[in-house]
Amino acid sequence: MNVDFTDQGSGLDDVFLTFESVETGQQIYFDLGRDDFIQGSLLSGTVAESREIDAFAASGEWKLTQIYGRDQASNSFSFSRSNFSSGAQWDQFLIDSNIQSTFVIDNPQADTSTLIINSLSLSSDRLDPSQPGGASLTVNVDFTDQGSGLDDVFLTFESVETGQQIYFDLGRDDFIQGSLLSGTVTESREINAFAASGEWKLTQIYGRDQASNSFSFSRSNFSSGAQWDQFLIDSNIQSTFVIDNPQADTSTLIINSLSLSSDRLDPSQPGGASLTVNVDFTDQGSGLDDVFLTFESVETGQQIYFDLGRDDFIQGSLLSGTVTESREINAFAASGEWKLTQIYGRDQASNSFSFSRSNFSSGAQWDQFLIDSNIQSTFVIDRSDALQPNYALTATAQALQEGNSLTATVNTTNLEEGTTLYWQFSGDSIEASDLDPSSLSGSGVVDANGQLSFDVTIADDQQAEGNETLKIQLYSDSSLTTPVGNALSIAINDPESGSTDNDANGLVDNRSVYTLFNGGDPLTITKERSDGSTRSFSTTGIPNWDATQAVQATDGSGFNVLLEGADGTARADQFLVWTTDNTGLISSSTGWKSADQLAQDGWEAPFSTDFNNDGITGVPTAVDNDANGLVDNRSVYTLFNGGDPLTITKERSDGSTRSFSTTGIPNWDATQAVQATDGSGFNVLLEGADGTARADQFLVWTTDNTGLISSSTGWKSADQLAQDGWEAPFSTDFNNDGITGVPTAVDNDANGLVDNRSVYTLFNGGDPLTITKERSDGSTRSFSTTGIPNWDATQAVQATDGSGFNVLLEGADGTARADQFLVWTTDNTGLISSSTGWKSADQLAQDGWETVFGDIFSSGGIEDTTPPDLLSYTLSDYNIDLSDGDVTVDVTAAIRDDISGVFDGTFANGDGGGISFARWTSPSGNQFVSGGGFTDPVTGDFLNGTYNDQAVFNQFSENGTWTLDNFFVVDEVGNSTFLSSDQLNELGIQTTLEVIGGMGNLTPNSTDLLT
């Protein structure tokens, strides 16, 4: 796919195309961006992308149904079939636009049928994420596809009460049995610890195969909820579950205020312009997840987005604090007013709000809502790539000696061919006689390319007039009253008068644009624009700053130019340094810095200036008089490092780094730094400030040997910091227990747990191990001994095989866990490897835990150690004729268990497990058919019941004698056994059946088509 394009301003960003099968609606997408550029430039060129056509793509004609394009200033267009009243009009539009819009696919193996969901089941219908270790939900989807095979299934469950949502995305990587043509996919999700209590319902189900055939059903497709529920029942889909959560969070995030760093921006200033958004928030439960903002140009509809999340947190906590994000403003962003048009917020429990202009009946109501909500919602930009006439005046030289010529060129956009433009020459002491021919004005006509060029010759009058500056200004009218575009300044060097630098600041005196003296061989300071042209900088026309000094780089590669912010402006008391090459072209910029920052970055010596007035011209000598490992009197936290200071930095998500102000962070202070014992870097102690949410809390950063933060402990209490072993490195008794170091482990009550710890800790013979649990992101958590209201860990004993420990939890009186018990199993590091789930005293006794923990339960103990007994197993037919297609056989089994009962598929903690089942094997041993799964008795009970299910023989099954080679039975406590064919025969169970009329023997590669 090749796309030829033109853009008049910022250049191409991307083009997105959708082709659709006329027959089936399958789609193929092309996304052509800057990386796909093959010729020309991003202002006028070609992008190309190749896509491999799916092996199962539908035959017939495919048509372009949508085309979208965007430039780097976010100006965009979107055209689709739906924009036109008829297909004929859309086709004609594409023809007129020189767009080839159709192709044909001839594919004998085309797949045009959608995926079929045979059933959907959940591992549990009731969950409690507040229990130790949390709760997870597993979804199993049985499916069939007749062609290309499953690609993915997407599900949305929603809280009836709050609208919170949980998503499942089951794809090819989640495949567990069968094949991608007929099998099962599964996915488990950990339930959010703050998820809403009450009923949750399936509200959407979407499926797609690898040929892009798809279906989508949701509550909104049905006229009533009852119809939707019946549809799910008819489709064999388990669609509801209940969450019981005493710590549920159902309240949304609150935005207290939103402020902007500026209400007026000029992206054409040196270094461009950026906008910072600060959002103060409060959340009553789970804490902030993210805030998303959209600002839109009133004039053009261009948009700027801000996405502020947990990583953008700068002060307070995730329950009450501030997040901030800075965005660089596009150099071509539209001029004029920009307004906030949407604000979206979400907490970690997925409670969310969304407000936009479209929610209000008028713009005035929306504006008043933002004012009432303490939200700063507008700013102004002074730069545009909007579709209005643009004029760019450039010249072949920025400086000219008398007697020489240059060519000035006007590049225009959005201006009609044949338009007449006018220009005027001016400047101090500039007269008509200074030009050849002697005229101070002229005119010309814009050509078909939007260009106009004219020559400028400076007359050599043989007089010593001194260096002068010629200004060229464009006008749209012959009376020269309406200036357009930029004015261009040309330095005129008078050979009879040399350049001067009487104040010895490295810049030529009395020039209209900043010019490097360069030993009398002046160089105009220039900056390259995005279109390849260059600009100079007026010595009088920039109100916010002045260039005050220039020095040659020590390596001779160019010059360093000092800019100082003007008093009374936003840049007052700030400094910036440009680095130029040997032609005066700016190659880099330091950005605006304070005097201290400039001194610390080493710029005092090159400019021979004591910027921060500390009495030292040069990098300040690093001192650490209080011996805390941090350099004294620095504006940002800096490691002393034996007198070789390292600024402490943190990497942002965009790859840049930030430092930390020693005075500008109200919630904490860095108070000490020590070198890591292995020499790999440093440990830095942060202490929460009194009177803030961080009072009496501590945090430790670990840095590498450059000062870059590599990890953080998170905020901890004094006890936690001591128990984690941080007292010795910092030589500080944080918890004031009289011991500087890890407290000696004692277990006076001999319960296997260390006494008087803030988190549960295994005694382990005096070598304590903190009990931890791995989170889904790979990190670990510990468990507070005082902060968990529903239960207490009361005993720990070492496993008899020495593999770890067993830890007993008892539910607290007066809570939902009263008279219940749970056992964790840990490895030898204290990491939890499994959990029994909550059980009654009788159940725990029956599971044999009294022999581990002693006679502490109510029942006295009945131990269940034997698996269930299979009494009978029969099929409705043992002669299967597949001549007419698939055959379904009814299955009946009778199973008995002595104590705990046949396993029903869900453990007490909500987790699923393997159920009792039978399996038939084909003559070749390569095909298998499930002979039934048994979880719910239709007569009797789990101790002695009868179970019904079905077995499906696919038309591709092998012919011949099939064997019942495997029958698995399991009870509620996990006692299980596999019965072989011989054992089943001994029980009087028929273990063979005959298949005829099948196609499996003709297609030996289809061995995985059966489930």
> What CATH number is given to the structural domain containing 453?
2.60.40.10
Q: Is 326 part of any domain?
A: yes
Residues 840 and 884 in one domain: no
The answer to whether residues 364 and 261 belong to one domain is: yes
Strands 76-80 and 27-33, how do they pair?
unpaired
Residue 220: exposed, middle, or buried by beta-carbon count in 10 A (0-12, 13-18, 19+)? exposed
Amino acid identity of residue 442, one-letter, is G
Q: Are residues 467 and 510 in the same domain?
A: no
708 assigned to some structural domain = yes
Both 218 and 123 in a single domain? yes
Residue 386, pLDDT score: 40
pLDDT for the residue 467: 64
- 696 and 657 both lie in a single domain: yes
Q: Tell me whether residue 751 is in a domain.
A: no
pLDDT along the chain (1011 residues), means of 10: 83 89 89 75 80 87 93 86 88 91 90 90 89 84 89 93 90 77 87 90 93 89 88 91 89 90 80 85 87 92 88 76 86 88 91 89 90 92 60 77 84 86 85 84 92 88 67 90 81 65 86 87 86 80 86 92 88 90 91 82 86 78 90 88 90 74 79 94 93 83 94 82 88 86 83 87 92 74 73 91 93 80 93 86 83 59 74 92 87 87 67 79 85 86 87 87 90 83 90 86 36 30
Of 243, 266, 294, which residue is a domain's last?
A: 243
In three-state secondary structure terms, 493 is strand
Looking at the domain assignment, is residue 359 inside a domain?
yes
Cα 102 to Cα 131: distance, rounded to the nearest angstrom: 58
pLDDT of residue 465: 61
Cα-trace Rg, the chain? 38
In a domain, 598, yes or no: yes
pLDDT in the model for residue 860: 36
Q: Report pLDDT for 912.
A: 61
List the structure tokens of 15. 């083009």
Taking CA atoms, 149 is separated from 21, 184, 859, in Å, by 19, 12, 53
Domain boundaries, position 281: 254-381
Give pLDDT, residue 1006. Answer: 32
**pLDDT of amino acid 942:** 81
Residue type, position 594, single letter: S
Same-domain status, 572 and 649: no
Domain shared by 570 and 683, yes or no: no
Predicted local confidence at residue 153, as pLDDT: 94
β-bridge partners, 614: none
The pLDDT value given to residue 874? 94
Neighbour-count burial of 720, counting CB atoms closer than 10 A to its CB (0-12 exposed, 13-18 middle, 19+ buried):
buried
| Within a domain: 334 | yes
Q: Does some domain include residue 621?
A: no
Residue pointed to by tokens 């209940």 = 242
Q: Are residues 139 and 205 in the same domain?
A: yes
d(CA 585, CA 490) in angstroms, rounded, equals 16
**Domains held by the chain: number:** 8
> What pLDDT does residue 387 have?
47
Q: Of 141, 137, 241, nearest to 188 (Cα)?
A: 137
299 in any annotated domain: yes
pLDDT at 630: 95
Where a domain ends, among 497, 513, 534?
Answer: 497
Domain boundary residue, one of 497, 525, 548: 497
Residue 1007: the pLDDT is 31
> What Å distances lie between residue 262 and 86, 329, 379, 612, 930, CA to CA?
48, 12, 7, 26, 67
Residues 399, 289 share a domain? no
| DSSP type of residue 152 | E
Please give the pLDDT value at position 463.
63
Residue 74 sits at the vertex; the CA angle it makes with 68 and 78, to the nearest 5 degrees, is 20
